[in-house]
Amino acid sequence: MGDYKKMWQDPNMDIEKHDILCAALPEQFGDIYLTQKNRPDAMNYFNYVVAEIHGARIMELEKYKKEGGSVVGTFCVFVPDEVILATKAIGVGLCSGSQFWIEDGEKVLPRNICPLVKAFAGAKIGLTCPYFQSCDMIVGETTCDAKKKAWEIMDEYMPVHVMELPQMKREKNIKEWEDEIKIFINRMEELTGNKVTVESLKKGIDVCNRKRRALKRLYDLRKNIPSPISGLDALLVSQVAFSDDPERFIEKTEELCDELEERVKELKPNGKKRIMVTGTPMALPNWKLHSIVEGLNAEIVVEETCTGTRYFENEVSTEGDTIDELVRNMAERYMDINCACFTPNEGRTEDIVKYAEEYNIDGVIYYNLSFCHTYAIEYEKIEKVLKEKDIPLLKIETDYSEEDTGQIKTRVEAFLEMI
């Protein structure tokens, strides 16, 4: 990584502490990623993104801001990127997947809440995340109690816009989400000084749809037996999708897919068990479960998570000649995401059963971040259906710390022996 310290002569960064993080990440990445055999060449770009995660991309954001542009941070797949793009702002999904930030997070939040929430709070108040420091505003949503209340605390540190996400999927709720999108449009217009037009919104929708299509293409390739790409690599691509420049990301992902398409022609079955991961998101740099599973005789071929299918499934229709119509299209697409914060949420079970077939799954691992209640409770329903369908299921509840790695490994290993 280049020396970007000067750029951070910014009083808003705790440089020393951040250095600790910068030193740990490449080592962790090297151990987990670079030791994999026979990786696709096109993964080099994504390696580069991680190596430069606190360098080149931050420079881009800073440059954009100097030129008068705005940067907003998001945390959840419900925040409509289309609007951010339509107001010529840059949206970055803030990574909150490291134990590193937990300690600082626990200074202002209770210990017994989801590590993702503690991590993003910690990254902000510890001044150790340059992305946070680049953001002019963060966009929250009312998905779960932990996040909903954490925004109030975050609001003391930086401007926060909270979108009220309905928790049911009736027509009235879709209308409510339309309203929320409109309010968000206003807020983004105020922040950036750029008006949303039918044209700019259509353009935003188009970019997001192409990004979804690229990811879908990648996932479709994983349906091949064996998958031409490891679960770890595919997860990295999904994670990078949240913070990278969308056009460049699309281009690089399509390149990767071209290469994988060639690979598929030569691959022969490798006898590895095919695993689906379902559950809570894995924000960068959370590679814990994937590295455990793929360290054994198994490959993860699909993630039914927000850093997986929930991010790219379904496109936003561009039919319509008014902003209202386009907002309606967006609301429909977003309200079709099957997150456990909805009640009921039958669509998720249907998705899991469908993917199990499409991806030729041998077993499902239910990944639950500690203290994420909505997903923990929903397990019961999913367990029942998968049992009926005779699909083996293992639940892993964990946080970002490494202390339970050995136990998780034993459980996954026993699971693989069983299926």
Q: Which is nearer to another protein, 35 or 410 (CB)?
A: 410
Minimum distance from residue 92 beta carbon to ligand SF4 (Å): 15
User: What's the DSSP call for residue 7?
Assistant: G
292-331: contacts with ligand SF4 (CB under 6 A): 306
Q: Which does 410 bind (CB under 5 to 8 A by kind): ligand SF4, another protein, none?
A: another protein
Contact flags string 33-72 toward ligand SF4, x per CB under 6 A: ----------------------------------------
87, 192 in Cβ contact below 8 A? yes
Q: Which range binds another protein by CB under 8 A, 67-75, 125-133, 152-160, 405-413?
A: 405-413
Give the binding range for another protein (CB under 8 A) out of 5-13, 100-108, 338-346, 400-408: 400-408
Residues in a beta bridge with 140: 162
Is the CB of residue 14 less than 8 Å from the CB of residue 21?
no
Give the C-alpha separation, 313 to 333, whole Å: 9
For the sheet containing 298-304, what is the strand order?
A: 298-304, 273-279, 363-369, 393-398
- Count of residues touching another protein (by CB under 8 A): 9
Q: Which of ligand SF4, another protein, none does residue 297 bind (CB under 5 to 8 Å by kind)?
A: none
The amino acid at 359? Y
417 binds another protein (CB under 8 A): yes
Closest C-alpha among 213, 202, 254 to residue 85 = 202
* The entry of another protein, ligand SF4, none that residue 130 binds, CB within 5 to 8 Å by partner kind: none
Binding mask 113-132 for ligand SF4 (x = CB under 6 A): -x-xx---------------
383 binds another protein (CB under 8 A): no
Q: What does 348 interact with, of ligand SF4, another protein, none (CB < 5 to 8 A by kind)?
A: none
Given ligand SF4, another protein, none, residue 334, with its beta carbon under 5 to 8 Å by kind, binds none
Residues in Cβ contact with 149 at an 8 Å cutoff, skipping those fewer than 6 apart: none
CB under 6 A: which stretch of 21-29, 47-55, 250-258, 371-379 binds ligand SF4? 371-379
414 binds, among another protein, ligand SF4, none (CB under 5 to 8 A by kind): another protein
d(CA 240, CA 265): 27
**DSSP letters along 332-349, please?**
HHHTT---TTSSS-HHHH
Residue 197 interacting with another protein (CB under 8 A): no
β-bridge mates for residue 279, sequence order: 367
Instruction: Output the six-digit token pair for 384.
Output: 């029942």
Q: How far apart are CA 123 and CA 81, in angstroms?
A: 22
- Token output for 91: 């949206």
The residue from 12, 270, 322, 407 that contacts another protein (CB under 8 A) is: 407
Could you give the CA distance from residue 115 to residue 252 in angstroms, rounded to a whole number? 31
74 phi/psi in degrees, rounded to 5: -130, 165
143 forms part of the interface with ligand SF4 (CB under 6 A)? yes
User: Footprint of ligand SF4 on residues 75-114 (CB under 6 A)?
Assistant: 76-78, 114
Q: How far apart are CA 89 and CA 189, in angstroms?
A: 10
Per-residue burial over 49-88, b if 16 or more Cβ lie within 10 Å, else e, is bbbbbbbebbebbbebeeeebbbbbbbbbbbbbbbbbbbb
Distance (Å, rounded) from C-alpha 349 to C-alpha 346? 5
404 binds another protein (CB under 8 A): yes
Q: Is 154 in the site for ligand SF4 (CB under 6 A)?
A: no
Q: Could you say whether residue 23 binds another protein (CB under 8 A)? A: no
Binding site residues, another protein, CB under 8 A: 404, 406-407, 410-411, 413-414, 417-418
Binding site residues, ligand SF4, CB under 6 A: 76-78, 114, 116-117, 143-144, 146-147, 280-281, 306, 337, 339, 341, 369, 372, 374-375
